[in-house]
Amino acid sequence: MSAGSVIGLVEAPLAVLLAPLLIGWIDQCRAWLQNRRGAGVLQPYRTLRKLLHKDAVIAHGASSLFRVSPYIQFGAMAMAAAIIPVFSVRAPLGVAADTIALVGVFALARVFMALAAMDIGTAFGTLGARREMLVGFLSEPALLMVFLTASLISQSTLLPTIVDVLGQIHLTIFPSLAFAAIAFVMVLLAENARIPIDNPSTHLELTMIHEAMVLEYSGRHLALIEWSSALKLFNYAAIGVALFVPWGLAGRAAGPVELALALPIAAAKLAIAGAALAIVETLSAKLRIFRAPEFLATAFLLAVLGLLVHLLLER
Amino acid sequence: MLAGGLGVMAVSPLALVLGVVVGWTAVGAAGLLRPRDVAFAGRALFGVGAVGAFVLLAAAIWSLGQPVQGWVLPLGLPDLPLHVRLDPLAAFFLALIGASTVGISIYSAGYFRAGEGAAPGLMCLQYHVFLASMAMVVLANDAYTFMVAWETMALASYFLVTTQHRVAEIRQAGFLYLLLAHIGAIGILLCFGVLQGGSWHFTFDAMRAATLSPGWASVAFGLALFGFGAKAGLVPLHVWLPEAHPAAPSPVSAMMSGVMLKTAIYGIVRVSFDLLHAPVWWWGALALALGAFTAVFGAIFAAVQTDMKRLLAYSSIENIGIIVTGLGLAMLFRGLGMDALAALSLSAALYHCINHAQFKSLLFLATGSVLHATGQRNLGKLGGLIHRMPWVAWLALVGTLAMAGLPPLNGFVSEWLLLQAYLFTPLLPHAIVNMLAPLGAAAFALTVALSAYVMVKFYGVIFLGRPREIALVQAHDAGWLERIGLAWLALGCVVLGLAPVAVLDSLDKINVSLVGTGIGAQAEHWWLLTPVAAQRASYGPLLFGAGLVLAVGLTFVVVRRLYHGRVRRSDPWDCGFPGQTPRMQDTAEGFGQPIRHMFGPFFRIERELPTPFDKEPRYALRLGDRWWDWLYSPIARAVQECARAIGYLQQGSIALYLFYSFATLLTLLAFAL
């Protein structure tokens, strides 16, 4: 077994363990931008530890679907982490699932989260589920279109191949990828419940989406959901890095030196992405929920435009 | 041929299939012996029918490895014997019919009760004649047999839809269905008339041998698309589906939506790929556009429905649209000479046929159990049934996830294949089509995402939350026969999702016979789906599913081991609001509101708003289909105008009628001279 495959095997667990760190980093950056000291980058871990130790309080009317759902969400996100190349393309499930399956994994997690939110039968739960599905039904096709554009350029839907191809053509300019990148960032903001679609730090009932769905969760279930949200953001950031700035990612032919360099490069790229996200969030205001479809429809149309640009100009 | 066939009759797949057809007819006739006896006609005979379906499934799978078999049966009119033929395409659709019917028949054995609509014996006759006619539609090898079977299918299903004929709306729905079925049948009949190409032989063999000019071939294709489209529910001929499906008993809805719609797809494939040899590229463009529009239309309408069976009917329209886009892609590729990609698209379309047959039947049957347990079809009056009907709820969850197109279930596989086919459309050697066809992928992605929205609504409102009506507390779970039927279909969803390579291997036989080449899905590994090339795309559902199970299981074990499994029960938190009632949950209208808001121009919206002075304020919202205004009402008006104009001829005076006779006589004489 070569060093590359071993690294591929540790990649996914590493992503799972480091995901809360990215959230902590973003929160810390936001605190700095708002002239606060912040709680430190390790705060998400402390929160998770606290939640895991607490009892899980479950509503009387909850079915077993409600209790299974957090595990499925977490499992799905861990699966996604095993598909996405973070610092090397040897992700263990790279052949078993391509970008389309990756979109499917995200959809699986979303559907289970929405179903669990409807399970207790509270007004806020169903409200959150409805809004989440609304966000999802527009952002999912946008994400798929971004992937299809990248697939058309690289002639493959497999992420390792896409990354390999895109990593070698960095001198060529692909305007379609610029459109795709903007659409992707919009999808990332919407899917991860960030400003301007949702606010991760609010509990103002009428505006929330993600938080409304997890209101009834507590203890270990909430910990798993928080962790899988962190992992989802990490996954999206890793996808963005792999698609749009793939340089430095250890390809299939990478030697030991490149592999050794890939990890710090990936960490630096993710840190920059996190800081950029904090800046975007600090500079923009949250949209009214009724404006969210417009925002997402724009993302979808930009992604389709990217596809068209590729078909018109880049062949 | 028959004389030679008799020797092998006992063993050949075709003999088995014909045996099942005869057997089903006999089972149906036996129902008339004791028509009011639920235990005999409603239970035992449906069980026998299920065995027949299983034999059909086995025979169809067996025949895939056998050479094509064709017989001439000395039945029917003099000089018009019945031609039957069992080729891979027919075998695939027979397998589809068999696989779904096993589940539906077992379920039906537990479903029919005394005192509901028509007598069980009558239902048994209509149901089994319906099954036999569907099998004959697929087997038919001449236009005469095909049309007889097709009409028998339409009539049998009409009687099944109008089981509860005392309800006026159900009679209306049945009439609408019958009308569109016959308008479609006229199209098919004319299509066969064109296809014989001057030989005046109506066997399919003669049609294959006929050479049509491109113009006439296009006419034939147009008629076939119209005729079969009316049966399949292509927009704008879809209007009967949302009326007929809620009217029929649930096993019948399952049969019609899951299985019968696929016979129309069979017809399109048979005509355009087999009888017409090779499709012209623009047929594909037409089918692609029509299918994409149908799919988006169906998904949008499904999202705003409040009746659970109507919701499923619209989602059937959506799925038919997806299948027709697949066929359209196949025609495009085939017409422009890219046969391997045509094979890929055709496989995707056919795969989606059998997937839809499984999960849509499952969901329609689940609504049947819900209907029996609660007496409610209205989503706004259901809720919380996962506690009262755990079996139905968990089995329906499989169908829900499959239909939402989520991996590793079956709906995802066909959608994955179709997207792979879309990715090749930029290579089409046609300047405009290769720009526009990839945009179909955008419409397709939107449809799939919308169907997830629809399914969360469907499942969440029916099974999750709290009961919206007090009466729901008394709901009971389905009986064991119903559970077995549901479990069979759910198993089908899982197996078709996990073993796509085996299914695609069988589909390749159809590809070879229709487009001349296969996709060679088995090339690399039995567990890894690589439809084109391994570096291009691959999907390993078994590995994927195992990874998912492992990840979920590992999480569970680790969390439980490292921490604890303590649970406390309490009232829902809901932001500290104590006065929660079940009526504060989203209704079906509420859950569909964002879609209604976004796609407003699609609907005809009638709203009744209360005034501030109403003693009993009432809010009502009705969503209509604009095709009624655009297409059907003008046609109905025009027909009435014509009738009135013709009515002037009949003034009721005998002198006038004598004058008509006289005028006719004179005209004829003038011509004779």
Which residue, chain included where needed, has tokens 């004829």? Answer: B668
Say yes or no: B164 contacts chain A, CB-CB below 8 A: no
The pLDDT-based confidence of B1 (bands split at 50, 70, 90) is very low
- The contacts found for B200-209 with CB under 8 angstroms, 24 or more apart, are B202/B142, B202/B143, B202/B144, B203/B83, B203/B141, B203/B142, B203/B143, B204/B83, B204/B85, B204/B140, B204/B141, B204/B142, B204/B143, B204/B270, B204/B274, B204/B275, B205/B83, B205/B141, B207/B143, B207/B275, B208/B274, B208/B275, B208/B277
Residue A104 has its nearest CB partner, among B407, B555, B566, at B407
**pLDDT at residue A238, as a whole number:** 94
Q: Which residues are within 8 A (CB) of A12 and not within 5 positions of it... i.e. 6 or more apart?
A: A78, A81, A82, A91, A92
Backbone φ, ψ for residue A100 (5° rounding): -65, -40
**pLDDT at residue B439, as a whole number:** 85
Closest chain B residue to A309 measured between Cα atoms? B435
Chain segment A92-130, per-residue pLDDT in tens = 777 788 899 999 999 999 999 999 999 998 888 999 999
Kindly determine whether residue B412 and residue A224, on different chains, have CB atoms separated by under 8 Å: no
Say yes or no: B460 contacts chain A, CB-CB below 8 A: yes
Residue A220 has its nearest CB partner, among B461, B563, B574, at B563
Kindly determine whether residue A56 and residue B568, on different chains, have CB atoms separated by under 8 Å: yes
Tell me the percentage of chain A whose pLDDT exceeds 70: 95
ipTM: 0.94
* d(C-alpha A276, C-alpha A288), whole Å: 23
Burial classification of residue A253, based on how many CB atoms lie within 10 Å of its CB (0-12 exposed, 13-18 middle, 19 or more buried): exposed
Say yes or no: B162 contacts chain A, CB-CB below 8 A: no
- Sign of the Cα pseudo-torsion (B513, B514, B518, B519, in order): negative
Query: Measured between beta carbons, which residues in chain B are less than 8 angstroms from residue A96?
Result: 528, 538-540, 543-544, 547
Say yes or no: B551 contacts chain A, CB-CB below 8 A: yes
Interface size A-B, in CB pairs within 8 Å, comes to 262
How far off is chain A from B137, nearest CA to CA, in Å?
A: 37
Backbone φ, ψ for residue B83 (5° rounding): -100, 130
How far off is chain A from B574, nearest CA to CA, in Å?
A: 6
Query: Measured between beta carbons, which residues in chain A are less than 8 angstroms from residue B538?
Result: 95-96, 98, 158
Say yes or no: A134 contacts chain B, CB-CB below 8 A: yes
Name residues 420-439 of chain B within 8 A of A (Cβ).
Answer: 420, 422-423, 426, 434-435, 438-439
Angle at B174 between CA B171 and CA B180, to 5 degrees: 140
- Sign of the Cα pseudo-torsion (B119, B125, B130, B131, in order): positive
How many domains are contained in chain A?
1
Query: Measured between beta carbons, which residues in chain B are less than 8 angstroms from residue A60?
Result: 569-572
Alpha-helical regions (H) of B31-119? 45-63, 88-111
**pLDDT at residue B3, as a whole number:** 42
Does residue A182 or residue A61 have the better pLDDT? A182
Residue B438 has its nearest CB partner, among A79, A123, A311, at A311
Kindly determine whether residue A224 and residue B555, on different chains, have CB atoms separated by under 8 Å: yes
Segments making up each domain of chain B, as ranges? 1-202+226-233+245-260, 600-611+618-672
Q: Which residues are within 8 A (CB) of B419 and not within 5 positions of it... i.e. 6 or more apart?
A: A100, A144, A148, A157, B441, B444, B445
Say yes or no: A16 contacts chain B, CB-CB below 8 A: no
Say yes or no: B557 contacts chain A, CB-CB below 8 A: no
Chain segment B16-44, per-residue pLDDT in tens = 999 999 999 999 999 999 888 888 888 89
Closest chain A residue to B418 measured between Cα atoms? A100
Kindly determine whether residue B434 and residue A311, on different chains, have CB atoms separated by under 8 Å: yes
Tell me the percentage of chain B whose pLDDT exceeds 90: 61
Burial classification of residue B530, based on how many CB atoms lie within 10 Å of its CB (0-12 exposed, 13-18 middle, 19 or more buried): buried
The pLDDT-based confidence of B116 (bands split at 50, 70, 90) is low
- pLDDT of residue A132 exceeding 80, the answer is yes
Name residues 184-203 of chain A within 8 A of B (Cβ).
Answer: 203
Mean of all residue pLDDT scores within chain B:
90
Structural Rg of chain B based on CA atoms: 26
* d(C-alpha A38, C-alpha B637), whole Å: 72
- pLDDT of residue B239 exceeding 90, the answer is yes
Are the C-beta atoms of residues B106 and B19 closer than 8 Å to each other? no
Query: Measured between beta carbons, which residues in chain A are less than 8 angstroms from residue B441?
Result: 144-145, 148, 307
DSSP per-residue letters across B315-348: HHHHHHHHHHHHHHHHHHHHHTT-HHHHHHHHHH
**pLDDT at residue B474, as a whole number:** 85
- pLDDT of residue A67 exceeding 70, the answer is yes
* d(C-alpha B314, C-alpha B239), whole Å: 10
* d(C-alpha B600, C-alpha B607), whole Å: 13
Q: For B646-653, what is the mean pLDDT?
A: 85
**pLDDT at residue B115, as a whole number:** 64
Backbone φ, ψ for residue B142 (5° rounding): -145, 160
* d(C-alpha B327, C-alpha B329), whole Å: 5
Kindly determine whether residue B539 and residue A101, on different chains, have CB atoms separated by under 8 Å: yes
Kindly determine whether residue B401 and residue A156, on different chains, have CB atoms separated by under 8 Å: no
How far off is chain A from B301, nearest CA to CA, in Å?
A: 15
Helix (H, G, I), strand (E, B) or coil at B441: helix
Say yes or no: A129 contacts chain B, CB-CB below 8 A: yes
Measuring CA to CA, which residue among B446, B541, B464, B551 is closest to residue B498? Answer: B541
Backbone φ, ψ for residue B625 (5° rounding): -95, 125
The pLDDT-based confidence of B522 (bands split at 50, 70, 90) is low
Give the global pTM: 0.94
Say yes or no: A38 contacts chain B, CB-CB below 8 A: no
Are the C-beta atoms of residues A304 and B442 closer than 8 Å to each other? yes
Kindly determine whether residue B538 and residue A57, on different chains, have CB atoms separated by under 8 Å: no
Q: Are strands B567-570 and A56-59 parallel, antiparallel or unpaired?
A: parallel
**pLDDT at residue B114, as a whole number:** 67
The pLDDT-based confidence of A5 (bands split at 50, 70, 90) is low
DSSP per-residue letters across B379-401: GGG---HHHH-HHHHHHHHHHHH
Q: Looking at this protein, which amino acid is placed at residue B549?
A: V
Mean of all residue pLDDT scores within chain A:
88
3-class SS letters over B576-588: HCCCCCHHHCCCH
Query: C-alpha distances in angstroms, B432 versus A311, B285, B334, B426?
Result: 11, 11, 17, 10
DSSP per-residue letters across chain A: --HHHHHHHHHHHHHHHHHHHHHHHHHHHHHHHTT---S-TTHHHHHHHHHHHSPEEEETT--HHHHHHHHHHHHHHHHHHHHS-SSBS--TTTTT--HHHHHHHHHHHHHHHHHHHHHS--HHHHHHHHHHHHHHHHHHHHHHHHHHHHHHHHT---HHHHHHHHHH-TTS--HHHHHHHHHHHHHHHHHTT-TTT--TT---GGG-SHHHHTTT--HHHHHHHHHHHHHHHHHHHHHHHHHH--TTSB-TT--HHHHHHHHHHHHHHHHHHHHHHHHHHHHSPPPPGGGHHHHHHHHHHHHHHHHHHHHHH--
Say yes or no: A65 contacts chain B, CB-CB below 8 A: yes
* d(C-alpha B118, C-alpha B112), whole Å: 10
How far off is chain B from A208, nearest CA to CA, in Å?
A: 12
Say yes or no: A295 contacts chain B, CB-CB below 8 A: no
* Residue A238, domain extent: 3-313
Within 10 Å of residue B670's Cβ, how many Cβ atoms?
8
Closest chain A residue to B416 measured between Cα atoms? A100
Chain segment B400-457, per-residue pLDDT in tens = 999 999 989 999 999 999 999 999 988 888 888 888 888 899 999 999 999 999 999 9
* d(C-alpha B429, C-alpha A66), whole Å: 51
Query: Measured between beta carbons, which residues in chain A are less than 8 angstroms from residue B590?
Result: 126, 130
Chain segment B63-104, per-residue pLDDT in tens = 988 889 899 988 877 788 899 999 999 999 999 999 999 999
Q: Looking at this protein, which amino acid is placed at residue A110?
A: R
Q: Which residues are within 8 A (CB) of B170 and not within 5 positions of it... i.e. 6 or more apart?
A: B161, B162, B163, B164, B247
DSSP per-residue letters across B229-242: HHHHT-TTS-TTHH
Say yes or no: B412 contacts chain A, CB-CB below 8 A: yes
Residue A119 has its nearest CB partner, among B465, B566, B574, at B465
The pLDDT-based confidence of B207 (bands split at 50, 70, 90) is very high
Whether the ω angle into residue A196 lies within 30 degrees of 0, i.e. cis, is yes
Query: Measured between beta carbons, which residues in chain A are less than 8 angstroms from residue B406?
Result: 104, 107-108, 111
Say yes or no: A137 contacts chain B, CB-CB below 8 A: yes
Q: Which of B382, B424, B456 to mutate to test the interface with A (most CBs of A within 10 A)?
A: B456
Backbone φ, ψ for residue B267 (5° rounding): -60, -45
How far off is chain B from A138, nearest CA to CA, in Å?
A: 7
Within 10 Å of residue B211's Cβ, how many Cβ atoms?
9
* d(C-alpha B346, C-alpha B328), whole Å: 9
How would you classify residue B552: left for phi > 0, otherwise alpha for psi between -120 and 50, otherwise beta?
alpha
Helix (H, G, I), strand (E, B) or coil at B85: strand
Within 10 Å of residue B331's Cβ, how many Cβ atoms?
30
Say yes or no: B594 contacts chain A, CB-CB below 8 A: yes
Does residue A91 or residue A23 have the better pLDDT? A23
DSSP state of B243: H
Q: Which residues are within 8 A (CB) of B189 and not within 5 positions of it... i.e. 6 or more apart?
A: B143, B147, B227
Say yes or no: B406 contacts chain A, CB-CB below 8 A: yes
Kindly determine whether residue B547 and residue A82, on different chains, have CB atoms separated by under 8 Å: yes
Q: Of all helices (H) and strands (E), which one includes residue B651?
A: none
Q: For B464-468, what is the mean pLDDT?
A: 91
